[in-house]
Amino acid sequence: MGWLVWIGLLGAVVVGLARLRASFLTWSLVVASGLLVAGLADLLAPLPGLVAWTVFLLVAIPLNVPALRRMLLSEPMLARTRAVLPPMSQTERDAIESGTVWWEAELFGGDPRWERLLRVAPPTLTPEEQAFLDGPVEELCNMLNDWEITHELNDLPPDVWDFIKQKRFFGMIIPQEFGGLGFSALAHSEVVMKLASRSVSAAVTVMVPNSLGPAELLLHYGTEDQKRHYLPRLAKGEEIPCFALTGPWAGSDAGSIPDRGVVCKQRFQGREVLGLRVTWEKRYITLGPVATVLGLAFKAYDPDHLVGDREELGITCALIPTNTPGVHIGRRHYPTGAAFQNGPNSGQDVFIPMEWVIGGQQNLGRGWRMLVESLSAGRGISLPALGTGSGKLVARVTGAYARVREQFKVPIGRFEGVEEALARIGGWAYLMDAARLLTAAAVDAGEKPAVTTAIVKYHLTEGMRRVVDDAMDVHGGRGICMGPANYLARVHQTVPISITVEGANILTRSMIIFGQGAMRCHPYLVREIRAATDPDPVAGAEAFDQALFAHMGFTLTNAARSLVYGLTRGRLAPAPVMGATAKYYQRLARMSAAFAFLADLTLLFLGGSLKRREKLSGRFADALSFMYLCSASLKRFQDNGQPEAELPLVEWACKYSLYQVQNALDEILRNFPARTLGQFLRLIVFPLGRRFRYPNDALGHAVASVLLAPSDVRDRLTSGIYCSEDPADPTGRVEYALRRLLEAEPVERRLRSAREVCPPHVAYDDWLDDLVKRRVVDAGEARALRESRRATRAAIDVDDFPPSRAHEAAADVAA
Ligand SMILES: Cc1cc2nc3c(=O)[nH]c(=O)nc-3n(C[C@H](O)[C@H](O)[C@H](O)COP(=O)(O)OP(=O)(O)OC[C@H]3O[C@@H](n4cnc5c(N)ncnc54)[C@H](O)[C@@H]3O)c2cc1C
């Protein structure tokens, strides 16, 4: 009993110190006091007491006495750090330093301050933004016929192009003073999400001018003249922009573009001006074939020193009217399943005056920084909205389809195998929307959260892939046969586009999320690297020592927190709420501490070589990402007022995320480069083993059930997408069938219990007439049954074509 009290006391002290983020010195003083008390209370026999004191003094004295610490620890470590620090190019440095850090830094640090998350204002639209969604966006959705766009026209129809321009869809991010809509990131996200639930081609067309491109670059870096000239014209759709970075030789490694602009003087519009002679070859450029203004990234050189001493100026961005002589643009690529405009462009020795450089001459060579800064916010809005729009569409329509489609006389959604897929769809739709909303709120609060936006770009497009694959399986042949009635196959075909653009996903996961996260979110790493690369060796050594000492306290605190939270299964961790979700906050805090500790030790052990260990880095990225998705789900539940009916969704999202975090950390430990160290770290990360489980069958059943019938929670889960109950509309006809089926269900049930079954040799309508005649059902009930049957048939129907058209359709699919 006495021992239990002492152990409890020890646990309380450790938790207290961990919560207070105690320094190494404080830890040392507390351990010394503990040993003293243990000695006085006769808890330690003389020999173990002597051993404990010796070990303690051997560690504590050298580390707490600055001169000794420097000699024994920080100077050798500084020398090693200087030797192993990988060389970093300016483009890498810019990418790492771009944007801000936000909630992800809390998760990275091991002790998330929940109030920081819960303080973020719940997402709200202004009345103007809501009116735009209810008016022009709804109207545009009604105009879109994706089969016509993707199969017949391979483009948006002219009236749709006109409508988009006239209603200023291309000017959502342009402030009202320049004639744009001046929308928040949330409103921008809502517009793209709704359009994506109708037509990916239309969503991408609208998204691109509002994402990383001329408008965004002009707003932040343009000269006043450039802003005044271009922004009103872009807002009204009088100019169609594109932005060209990628080329045949530079895809993911965009910093290596070979396109060049040489500073020179040339006659232009009747006078000699300073400018650049630009040569480039680009491909995959969205809106390129129809663009009137080409945003171009190239590397500027000044061999004749016309603007300064340097010859290599670096990546530069310029705006070039596409009717400039020498610009070759207009040919198209055909990205899989989509009909938005996309194609190559090139130019050979095209002269552009200096005022076409975005921001003018002073921005020569600043292009890369401009691009990564813009990307650090932009990639968190458009593609995540597109992925979530598809996810919500799939959740709504697949649930309805699984209810109306029967096999073996049972709705297929009631089979456990299908239910598993439906649970994943529902759970992921919740996770995706939560992360989308939280990230948009951060951007609206002025953050450019580079790591968070990489996380949502990756996971919300991967989530789209996952749910669309599941939806295809649930739909069977109904999802496969192409035609106007098919609302799924085009989404399925376009998934790889979202995966590839704005940072291809493999690269984003394995290189960017943790690579950038470690540099930006770790409280001491950058300080240590800066100190190690300080040109003044004395100041560098001093700064390095201080950072290292603080770092040791941080590591120790996270180790203690991880161990104690692990032993108590998170119960000692703080939770900012009461009720059913409190335990998920605690478990997340536990995983955050384990992550922080493991990340720290891995960085210490591998140093710069972690850059090449993409498998480890990818798993750290997964752990960090799922902690973010989990916290976003908790925040969403809180913002929604903790509705009881939403509990299965948030529980599924949390359990699933925590399970993924656990698996990622487990895989890191299993593959840790030093086996023994890995085993030791496991004791601290998982002291009681791996306790988190995949959401169980009962929870999966509850989530799947949300999708199978109309309800408030189903409406909330799929809110903001285009919804129709029009039996003439491809998705509307499935929803219509679901409603009719549910109306007829009580009568069907009554007939079944009265053993009234349509005989196999009798037509269904004749059987209904007979039932009316026999007064088993009345005329209204017969009508409901007939309409339910008819609507179900329409919902499960697929298109067929005369042989010549079928050949065309097949050719289209092959293309
Ligand atoms: C439909 C479409 C629209 C586009 N629109 C535009 C546009 O408007 N403007 C523009 O400038 N560009 C645009 N792009 C280009 C897009 O950004 C690039 O396709 C993307 O950067 C990837 O380049 P890549 O296709 O050459 O693939 P690659 O760079 O060849 O990559 C191939 C694979 O290797 C992986 N990979 C590469 N390097 C690493 C690494 N270090 N670690 C791990 N994995 C790695 C990638 O993740 C990817 O999976 C568009 C592309 C498409 C398909």
pLDDT tens digits for 316-353?
A: 999 999 999 999 999 999 999 899 999 999 999 999 99
Q: What is the 3-state secondary structure (H, E, C) of 459-526?
A: HHHHHHHHHHHHHHHHHCHHHHCCCCCCCCHHHHHHHHHHHHCCCCHHHHHHHHHHHHHHHHHCCCHH
**pLDDT for the residue numbered 807:** 58
Which among 466, 387, 454, 382 has a CA at the least distance from the CA of 424? 466
What Cα–Cα distance (Å) separates residue 274 from each residue in 294, 300, 324, 354, 702? 20, 13, 17, 6, 68
Q: Which long-range contacts (CB under 8 A, 24 or more apart) does 537-543 make?
A: 540/78, 541/70, 541/74, 541/75, 541/78
Atom of ligand 1 nearest to the CA of 504: 47
pLDDT tens digits for 565-623?
A: 999 999 999 999 999 999 999 999 999 999 999 999 998 888 778 878 999 999 999 99
**pLDDT for the residue numbered 171:** 96
Give residue 336 CA to ligand 1 midpoint distance, Å.
Answer: 15
Give residue 625 CA to ligand 1 midpoint distance, Å.
Answer: 21
Q: Of 249, 281, 341, 500, which is best to mutate to test ligand 1, by the most ligand atoms within 8 angstroms of its C-beta?
A: 500
Which among 474, 471, 435 has a CA at the least distance from the CA of 452? 435
Atom of ligand 1 nearest to the CA of 244: 11
Atom of ligand 1 nearest to the CA of 333: 1
Instruction: Identify the helix (H) or strand (E) that includes residue 266.
Output: strand 260-268
Is the C-beta atom of 507 inside 6 A of ligand 1? Answer: yes
Is the distance from CB of 215 to CB of 231 less than 8 angstroms? yes
The overall pTM is greater than 0.85: yes
Is the C-beta atom of 501 inside 6 A of ligand 1? Answer: yes
**pLDDT for the residue numbered 194:** 98
Atom of ligand 1 nearest to the CA of 245: 11
Phi, psi of 527 (to 5 degrees): -60, -40
**pLDDT for the residue numbered 289:** 98
- Name the amino acid, one letter, at 253: D
**pLDDT for the residue numbered 24:** 81
**pLDDT for the residue numbered 42:** 79
pLDDT tens digits for 756-795?
A: 999 999 999 999 999 999 999 999 999 999 999 999 999 9
Give the C-alpha separation, 46 to 40, whole Å.
Answer: 11
Q: For atom 50 of ligand 1, which residue has the closest CA?
A: 284
Q: Which residues pair with 319 in a beta bridge?
A: 295
What does the angle CA 458 – CA 463 – CA 468 come to, to the nearest 5 degrees?
Answer: 135
Is the distance from CB of 196 to CB of 386 less than 8 angstroms? yes
pLDDT tens digits for 478-503?
A: 999 999 999 999 999 999 999 999 99
Q: How many CB atoms lie under 10 A from the CB of residue 436?
A: 31
Residue 168 token pair: 């200023």
Give residue 209 CA to ligand 1 midpoint distance, Å.
Answer: 19
**pLDDT for the residue numbered 2:** 65
**pLDDT for the residue numbered 814:** 52
Give the C-alpha separation, 55 to 20, whole Å.
Answer: 25
**pLDDT for the residue numbered 56:** 86
**pLDDT for the residue numbered 3:** 67
Residue 72 Cα to chain centre, angstroms: 44
Give residue 252 CA to ligand 1 midpoint distance, Å.
Answer: 5
**pLDDT for the residue numbered 617:** 96
Q: What is the 3-state secondary structure (H, E, C) of 54-104?
A: HHHHHHHHHHHCHHHHHHHHHHHHHHHHHHHCCCCCHHHHHHHHCCECCHH
Is the C-beta atom of 556 inside 6 A of ligand 1? Answer: no
Using pLDDT thresholds of 50, 70 and 90, give the confidence band for residue 9. Answer: confident
**pLDDT for the residue numbered 212:** 77
Give mean pLDDT, residues 507-517: 94
Q: For atom 30 of ligand 1, which residue has the closest CA?
A: 251
Is the C-beta atom of 204 inside 6 A of ligand 1? Answer: no
Q: Of 204, 284, 341, which is best to mutate to test ligand 1, by the most ligand atoms within 8 angstroms of its C-beta?
A: 284
Using pLDDT thresholds of 50, 70 and 90, give the confidence band for residue 561. Answer: very high
Q: Which of 202-206, 387-391, 804-808 has the lowest mean pLDDT?
A: 804-808
Is the C-beta atom of 250 inside 6 A of ligand 1? Answer: no
Q: Is the pLDDT of residue 87 over 60?
A: yes
**pLDDT for the residue numbered 535:** 85
pLDDT tens digits for 690-731?
A: 999 999 999 999 999 999 999 999 999 999 999 999 999 999
Give residue 286 CA to ligand 1 midpoint distance, Å.
Answer: 13
**pLDDT for the residue numbered 800:** 96
Is the C-beta atom of 504 inside 6 A of ligand 1? Answer: yes
Give residue 255 CA to ligand 1 midpoint distance, Å.
Answer: 12
Give residue 189 CA to ligand 1 midpoint distance, Å.
Answer: 23
Is the C-beta atom of 81 inside 6 A of ligand 1? Answer: no
Give the C-alpha separation, 366 to 313, whole Å.
Answer: 8
Give the C-alpha separation, 651 to 582, whole Å.
Answer: 11
Is the C-beta atom of 147 inside 6 A of ligand 1? Answer: no
Atom of ligand 1 nearest to the CA of 502: 17
Q: For atom 52 of ligand 1, which residue has the closest CA?
A: 284
Give mean pLDDT, residues 126-135: 98
Look at the chain and count its residues: 815
Give mean pLDDT, residues 659-673: 97
Give residue 300 CA to ligand 1 midpoint distance, Å.
Answer: 23
Which among 245, 243, 297, 307 has a CA at the least distance from the CA of 275? 307
CB within 8 Å of 4: residues ≥ 6 apart: none
Q: Is the pLDDT of residue 1 over 60?
A: no
Give residue 504 CA to ligand 1 midpoint distance, Å.
Answer: 5
Q: For atom 43 of ligand 1, which residue has the closest CA?
A: 507
Is the C-beta atom of 201 inside 6 A of ligand 1? Answer: no
What Cα–Cα distance (Å) separates residue 94 from each residue in 81, 212, 256? 21, 17, 14
Is the C-beta atom of 788 inside 6 A of ligand 1? Answer: no
Q: Of 252, 493, 499, which is best to mutate to test ligand 1, by the most ligand atoms within 8 angstroms of its C-beta?
A: 252
Atom of ligand 1 nearest to the CA of 510: 43
Is the C-beta atom of 421 inside 6 A of ligand 1? Answer: no
- Name the amino acid, one letter, at 394: V
Give mean pLDDT, residues 399-414: 97
Atom of ligand 1 nearest to the CA of 297: 11
Q: Of 507, 510, 610, 612, which is best to mutate to test ligand 1, by the most ligand atoms within 8 angstroms of its C-beta?
A: 507
pLDDT tens digits for 18-39?
A: 777 777 888 888 888 888 888 8
Atom of ligand 1 nearest to the CA of 242: 8
Q: Is 483 exposed, middle or buried (0-12, 13-18, 19+ CB in 10 A)?
A: middle
Catalytic residue among 502, 528, 646, 787: 502
Q: For atom 4 of ligand 1, which residue has the closest CA?
A: 284
Q: Is 237 exposed, middle or buried (0-12, 13-18, 19+ CB in 10 A)?
A: buried
Atom of ligand 1 nearest to the CA of 208: 8
CA dihedral (542, 546, 549, 553) in degrees, to 10, reads -170
Which among 201, 302, 288 has a CA at the least distance from the CA of 247? 288
Atom of ligand 1 nearest to the CA of 508: 47
Q: Is the pLDDT of residue 448 over 90?
A: no
Give residue 500 CA to ligand 1 midpoint distance, Å.
Answer: 5
pLDDT tens digits for 208-242?
A: 999 878 999 999 999 999 999 999 999 999 999 99
Give residue 671 CA to ligand 1 midpoint distance, Å.
Answer: 29
Give residue 384 CA to ligand 1 midpoint distance, Å.
Answer: 17
Q: Is the pLDDT of residue 813 over 60?
A: no
CB within 8 Å of 116: residues ≥ 6 apart: 103, 106
Give mean pLDDT, residues 393-418: 97
Give residue 294 CA to ligand 1 midpoint distance, Å.
Answer: 19
**pLDDT for the residue numbered 806:** 61
Q: Is the pLDDT of residue 150 over 60?
A: yes
Q: Is the pLDDT of residue 95 over 80?
A: no
Give the C-alpha separation, 524 to 530, whole Å.
Answer: 10
What Cα–Cα distance (Å) separates residue 603 from each residue in 85, 189, 531, 667, 767? 12, 36, 17, 16, 74
More confident residue, 250 or 534: 250
Q: For atom 27 of ligand 1, which residue has the closest CA?
A: 251
**pLDDT for the residue numbered 73:** 85
Is the C-beta atom of 251 inside 6 A of ligand 1? Answer: yes
More confident residue, 437 or 56: 437
Is the C-beta atom of 252 inside 6 A of ligand 1? Answer: yes
Give the C-alpha separation, 336 to 642, whole Å.
Answer: 41
Using pLDDT thresholds of 50, 70 and 90, give the confidence band for residue 809. Answer: low
How confident is the prediction for the chain on average, in pLDDT? 93
Give mean pLDDT, residues 187-215: 95
Is the C-beta atom of 294 inside 6 A of ligand 1? Answer: no
Residue 502: active-site member: yes
Atom of ligand 1 nearest to the CA of 505: 47
Is the C-beta atom of 558 inside 6 A of ligand 1? Answer: no
**pLDDT for the residue numbered 604:** 85
CA torsion sign for 280, 282, 285, 287 is positive
Is the C-beta atom of 371 inside 6 A of ligand 1? Answer: no
3-state secondary structure of 1: coil
**pLDDT for the residue numbered 690:** 96
Instruction: Identify the helix (H) or strand (E) that includes residue 262.
Output: strand 260-268
Give residue 216 CA to ligand 1 midpoint distance, Å.
Answer: 21
3-state secondary structure of 317: strand
**pLDDT for the residue numbered 376:** 73
The rounded percent of the chain whose pLDDT value lies above 70 is: 97
Residue 345 token pair: 């462009």
